[in-house]
Amino acid sequence: MSDHYIINGGKPLQGAVKVAGNKNAALPMLAACLLTDEPVTLHNVPRIGDVDTLLRLLQDVGVRVIANGGSSITLHAENIETRKLSSELCLRIRASILLAGPMLGRLEQVELPPPGGDVIGRRRIDTHILAFEALGAKIKHDPVTHSLHIQADGLQGTDMMLDEASVTATENALMAAVLTPGQTIIRNAASEPHVQNLCRMLCGMGAIIDGISSNTLTVQGVDRLRGGEFEIGPDLLEVGSFLGLGAVTPGELRIKNVISDELRMVLYVFRERLGVNCWLDGDDLVVGSEQDLHVAMDRGDAVPKIDDGPWPHFPADLLSIALIVATQAQGTVLIHEKMFESRLFFVDKLINMGARIILCDPHRAVVVGPSQLYGQAVSSPDIRAGMTMVIAALAAEGTSIIANIGQIDRGYERLTEKLQALGADIVRSSAPTPVVA
């Protein structure tokens, strides 16, 4: 029986919340432990479903995982026992593909089953394959299991151009290149904060990487990497989620220990486009108790657009949070999701709750606000849509039941406790639930 949330909305939320470590930094940084036979200690590791699954994958190939208490973990990949990853575990998370780069770089071989993850449309792995092939890897596809057998017979540094600025493909190319002889140049590289976090960790382990924070990374291959101790930064997406929550519920919310430089575009969209009253106070982001949400029209009173794109543009994973805020703002806005063709399909659940949204096509939705939301029984299709429905339920009148919250657990640490501490009327239950859509 899967757990579900029971939420009574309309309660004032106020207080301080500290977000967990960045999920999208933690996953590649955990994978990077495979690049050395020395211990690697990571601090501020989020205890979420995707991290737990990746740790199980690492243990499955022979990595020793030591919990140091709190959010600190030591990983020791002294003896890797297999080059074949578990099909069952890989199907649980998209990030399983991040083990390919370091295993190829260190062991020169890996058998990679198909990765899983959110069902938000086609998620191609072609960019990963092209990067490995550019380094000289040979790749065979099993037409029955759809596994990839990747073999490295003498990798060599190269000048490669990624066909898209994929975050995970950039990370995989980096981790394969740091132990590859010669110079590797990765062009059209992703430069999100979590990619930068990984780059700094690899440099701390002895890698030589230039161009960090840019779209061209230059890697000088080294013979070996050492262990070390590293800190994972705060989760930008969790910061954005609580920012959206504070915007649509009454009460002042203080989000602790944020990195302001990572929030420039996020704050622009929420403040300038949607009228959210929020401000930076030292290392904290404060969402005011008084909100006058309104959509800022483009010149000539044209309907504005909020869209996503590679860093430093607005993050794709926060587009659903901007959408729920837009349902409570005065005015009309076009939400344009460019990356995944199924990600906006969850809006039918918000429409059932009372939101006025027109789904134009798989990538675009027009939101007309404000609208009164009412509690409903719904199911979470993926991590970010699930969090969006939690926010909607907390802003709604009446009771909501959200099923399939294991999806939300994959990306948010101790969410129930954090929300209860802010005054939310939310209960996690494993009792039988009504059938939900």
The residues carrying an active-site annotation are: 118
Distance linking the first and last C-alpha atoms of the chain = 17
- The token pair at 51 is 């991290």
- Beta-ladder partners of 210: 218
Q: Phi and psi of 149, rounded to 5°?
A: -100, 115
Separation between Cα atoms, residue 228 and residue 179, nearest integer Å:
17
Planar angle of CA 77, 81, 83, nearest 5 degrees? 100
- The token pair at 420 is 């209860």
Count, in order, helices (H) and strands (E) of the chain.
14, 23
Q: Are 152 and 140 in contact (CB under 8 A)?
A: no
Sheet containing strand 305-307, edge to edge, reads: 305-307, 331-336, 364-369, 356-361
Q: Are 327 and 373 in contact (CB under 8 A)?
A: yes
CA distances (Å), 165 to each of 173, 192, 194, 283, 415, in order? 12, 10, 14, 30, 31
Give the residue among 293, 213, 285 at the shortest CA–CA distance from 254.
285
Give 102-146 as a DSSP string: HHHHHHSEEEEPPP----SS----HHHHHHHHHHTEEEEE-TTT-
CA distances (Å), 435 to each of 5, 54, 355, 432, in order? 14, 31, 21, 9
Strand spans (E) along 282-351:
284-287, 305-307, 331-336
